[in-house]
Structure 1
């Protein structure tokens, strides 16, 4: 059985969706101000992810030379990798805790490659989170006193905050000239 892709592997595929890149270019993106806050992938992990993705025929590379410099590998998505990342980019995350990593990576890439799809993903994610929030409210109502109630309230509070944030971001995306 083939294991699921790791979140970092999805992030690498998503970054390659913007364009073909050298490994060091990808490392700079993951070390840069925007992505570092969301998914700080170190160079060693990046190359491990690239090897894993190549082994699954999701990524390919081409050796390029410039003058007397050592050859470099330019990585690109395969058609299978492109199909996988396109589906992943447009699918809302299933778990609330994945919003802080996976959803933000998706929004970062969609903002670059398909800004129109960004609002659609936020709307879909909002529906998922509103459903989660309703279930969390039901758990709070059923919870007794003590620790189980504290946990249920914590989950509800996180769901409330996430729904509020998504609604605010959707308003920002809907503004005629305002783009984050």
Structure 2
């Protein structure tokens, strides 16, 4: 059995945790479990460490060993220029699959909020446009299906319902942002 690496997606959000300051892996795990991100993504410590190692292998993070007085040395992770570019690109790209929305978009919203209202509004608008394109594609797909393919029509209708719910939720996010009630920092 061959091991094929899947593309990095939600894992890129880990770069957002170290973009402002270097952190050691345990500190990253603590941030994931004690911030609002814990409502989005739960990850076991061992799996987190494997993902961080993969991000290092990809050249997105670099680790150094720091000596401490009266304590064992600890490994500190820093974002590379390539890592910063990958994170920025990930943040700008809307989520293109409904199945990825819950994890990926909510993580992006968390980090966009740290950048301010303009970044958050831009993210919401880009995602709304991407969802509208998905909805348009689903409408076209359903229109071209033979009428006797009931199951396939039901699948498309289900997916349409998901995208419509996401669009309504994005509108609620926009309203909360404009009212100053969108606070994802805690």
Smaller-chain TM-score bracket: 0.7 to 0.9
Listed one character per residue, the Cα deviations across residues 68-111 of structure 1 (whole Å, up to 9, x for unaligned) are 11111121101111111111111111212221111111111121
Q: Is the 8 A contact 1:27 1:43 kept in 2?
A: yes
User: Which 5+ residue runs of structure 2 have no aligned equivalent?
Assistant: none
State the match for 2:161 in structure 1. 157
User: Contact 1:92 / 1:121 at 8 angstroms: preserved in 2?
Assistant: yes
| Corresponding residue pairs, total | 178
1:53-72 maps to which residues of 2 (within 5 A)?
A: 53-72=55-74
Superposition misfits of 4+ residues, deviation over 4 angstroms: none
Task: Choose from 121, 124, 133 the match for 2:126.
Answer: 124
Judged with a 3 Å threshold, the aligned counterparts in structure 2 of structure 1 residues 115 and 62 are, in CA distance, closer, same or farther, namely farther
Counterpart Cα distance in 1 of 2:61 and 2:67: 20
TM-score computed with the length of structure 1 as normaliser: 0.88
Question: Residue 171 of structure 2 corresponds to which residue in structure 1?
Answer: 167
Aligned to 2:100: 98
- 1:25 corresponding residue in structure 2: 27
Ranges in structure 1 where 5+ consecutive residues have no aligned partner: none
Indicate the larger mover: 75-84 or 57-66: 57-66
Shift of 1:33: 5.6
Residues 8 and 49, structure 1, Cα contact 8 Å, conserved in 2: no
Q: Distance between the aligned counterparts of 2:118 and 2:21, measured in 1?
A: 18
Distance 2:46 2:10 in 1: 12
Which residue of the partner structure matches residue 178 of structure 1?
181
Shift of 1:11: 2.1
* Backbone CA RMSD of aligned residues: 2.1
Normalising to structure 2: TM-score of the pair? 0.85
1:83 equivalenced with 2:63 (yes/no): no
Q: Return the offset for 1:123.
A: 0.1
Matched, 1:109 2:111: yes
Q: Distance in 1 between matches of 2:55 and 2:116?
A: 23
1:90/1:47 Cα in 2 relative to 1: closer, same or farther (>3 Å)?
same
CA–CA distance in structure 1, aligned partners of residues 16 and 64 of structure 2: 19
Q: For 1:35 and 1:149, locate their aligned partners in 2 and report how far apart those are by CA, in whole Å.
A: 36
